[in-house]
Amino acid sequence: MTKPKLVSKLKKRSNWWNKAKKIRNEADTKWQQVGVLKGKMCEICLRESAVCCHHIINKSLSNRLRYELINGIRVCQGCHNKIHSTADPAIFRRIEEVVGKERMAELERLRREEVKVNEEFYQTNLEKLEKCLTTNSNSQVSDRWF
């Protein structure tokens, strides 16, 4: 491949990735927003406080679960820091306790499903999450959250 063709190909790929990355970041934000619709209580320590959503199965381990609501658990900042900064088995046991065996089994099953990650993947998930937010209906969120 000649250098001009290679440069052109790389620019096209770069443009695609920049657009996909922007949509991915928007979808990540929406996932967080949908996740906190169900309440302000940390599911680990049970304190009422500002919460964020933690991916039970890490995003880096499964693109399939990145935007699945059942892969989220609401946690306060203190518990979120403990999850990410310590290897404390107690906190992971608590997550498994809160999530339950059935949900964990479902997550493990879904984790193994492969998806094609492209702009369409991010756009489709972004639209689903926006729909949850615009309807602002807890009933839409609850059937896949708990």
Decide if pLDDT at 137 tops 70. Answer: no
For residue 6, what pLDDT is reported?
Answer: 55
For residue 95, what pLDDT is reported?
Answer: 93
Decide if pLDDT at 99 tops 50. Answer: yes
Structure tokens at 6: 């290679």
Does residue 64 lie in a domain region?
yes
Does residue 65 lie in a domain region?
yes
Report how far residue 107's alpha carbon sits from residue 97's, in angstroms, rounded to the nearest whole number.
Answer: 14
Mean pLDDT of 80-99: 90
Does residue 3 lie in a domain region?
no
Does residue 116 lie in a domain region?
yes
Provide the domain limits for residue 87.
Answer: 39-122
Mean pLDDT of 67-92: 91
Does residue 33 lie in a domain region?
no
Report how far residue 35's alpha carbon sits from residue 4's, in angstroms, rounded to the nearest whole number.
Answer: 46
Does residue 68 lie in a domain region?
yes
Decide if pLDDT at 122 tops 90. Answer: yes
Decide if pLDDT at 145 tops 50. Answer: no
Does residue 74 lie in a domain region?
yes
For residue 4, what pLDDT is reported?
Answer: 57
For residue 117, what pLDDT is reported?
Answer: 92
Decide if pLDDT at 1 tops 80. Answer: no
Mean pLDDT of 3-31: 77
Full-model pTM: 0.81
Q: Per-residue b/e over 41-75, b at no fewer than 16 CB within 10 Å? A: ebbbeeeeeebebbbbbeeeebbbbbbbbbbbbbb
Does residue 51 lie in a domain region?
yes
pLDDT, one tens digit per residue, over 32-73 is 999 998 889 999 999 998 899 999 999 999 999 999 999 999
Decide if pLDDT at 10 tops 60. Answer: no
| Domain count across the chain | 1
